[in-house]
Structure 1
């Protein structure tokens, strides 16, 4: 039986890896929808190769070039936000949700109502919407599978039938390019240095998040919702080798871990094959060659984003949206060389202190889920916080 697959963010690293895995693993599959951002050439190449039912370009400014590239192909193509959400909401068997940032929220929310298995690589949707997103997927007969290597690892080793026997979840973090540096040593780091991740090949935003430990903070929030686990039962340890991807510690003293090479194709393949496993030429883990694995506690003085994420989780889902929005705009400002590396956390903390926003109650996801009001509320908070942070930038420049 042919499996139909939609890929939201097909031109990003997760989307490209997904298509390569499908090619390598073979099997009977068809692409229902491909959605790309603004990479016209790559999206057109993918469309011509896989001939999906619909291909959508998100960026309207690139539409003329995209339309010309596919003229005469006979393919159904479209452009813009409405078209993106419509394509994401098409009936299919599996949706790979891999659009980066809050831009992925609307299409992921649309995909959640299709009844498909939702392979979730867009962590921001879960960080901001909490259990509401999971409830929406399950209410329509679907299932959420985590793509992030850490959550995918926990998913593989967590025994849901013995949840009461779990002592804690342990997320591992590589430490990024600045592991071991003090706060003083981080004051003058450059964009180029921050983009040199020692283990993973990722997009610019997530690479900076790894450098600040914001990515691990987002993953902590995500883990709390995915596995219905309070924040005080989720710990983070620095593991520079990125081989142990996370652990579940049980109350009998056993700790179960999933190990693998630092290659995102491994968790992607697990999602594509679940509940089975995909057979492909996966990289092998050579423990003898590795020789040593090390672990240490994170330095939250030098990397306060982890502490701020924990505070946001404790404050409630409204504050997790504040954390995410402020971080997104600050990361972009750092990439644009408008603020320094340490200022990312400074501005995020200020935004969290100044945001006068309602905390979303635990009951809201039940009443708001089907109407879409919850997503609208999250987007309203996001817009307000981005405006607040921009005002903070302007104020800072005026006082220089």
Structure 2
């Protein structure tokens, strides 16, 4: 465990809150050649990287209907029932986000409105590796279906036997997704960005991943392929005051630490006593974890910070802009008003971050690495474009035409002015 920081000066916050990360230039030097290779060589490159990185020889990239049917039989009834609860809550929450187009008459005869139109082709990246995240498929697949995206493809890495995790395939068929491809990592992002002989090209790519996946998403974004957000290794920050339960707080920190060695957990408290009690609890609970080795590595990135005022604590937390923020306090609802930067917030003693990961209904695909200062997590809106419309009557062009002529003339754009002038001349 890292040292405890007591009331650090503001000028020290940036260094204290630094995320564990690779040098971006070295990342790009690894990822860029993979993107170019897939762009030029398609399926051949995908299969080459599957052998190199995943240790699997793939004959077919697309998952067959038979593989999906076989996978469904391997999922326990208990897990199917749990997934059903999550599916229902995620559906209810995202369905409620639908918007009806509303027409507004800005001036007599000038009617404007905005319409949500589904992005036709979307790609969903589902991490495999140490923990195949079937929950991410629920979080991305359900809103993409509600939005009405016409072409939805899923990319996820196969194991060494060329198999996709059966629960991922069960969730696919449960929500109606049929186009699943056996590819992961930066090469999967490339496949969706450029298209290959087998994997269709998409307009927008969704999904979390490691730093290579994040780098790949950001690089293809520069080429005009939309992405949900920059999202890298997962993180949680907890604010705990004197009313917090150290057992709960330690469990929350460990639930994040087990994600990956490059995850980060931050505890900010108004009480050094709570911090010390949490440290003891972490060491107790750590011994029972199946992913203990991963959690231990992640805990090296832990930050334990004591601030002497609530306002200072939340100033620091807003500067950090955590992917997940837990407010472990009897006063959580009031304290929540102090939050300006966070991906998703969990209030009180009975709202662990893991409920948002799975079944409360909110989306768990969230901005990390401080991007919560400007980015939102995935929502139904993420799968739409917002297109504006306007219609002017003869009265409408009369009412605003002269203003447009004057403004266009002031900018020296005569053709803009003339497009109005020729119309007004006929009235």
Is the TM value for this pair above 0.5? no
Q: TM-score range by the shorter chain?
A: 0.3 to 0.5
Larger Rg: 2
TM-score normalised by the chain length of structure 2: 0.31
TM-score normalised by the chain length of structure 1: 0.33
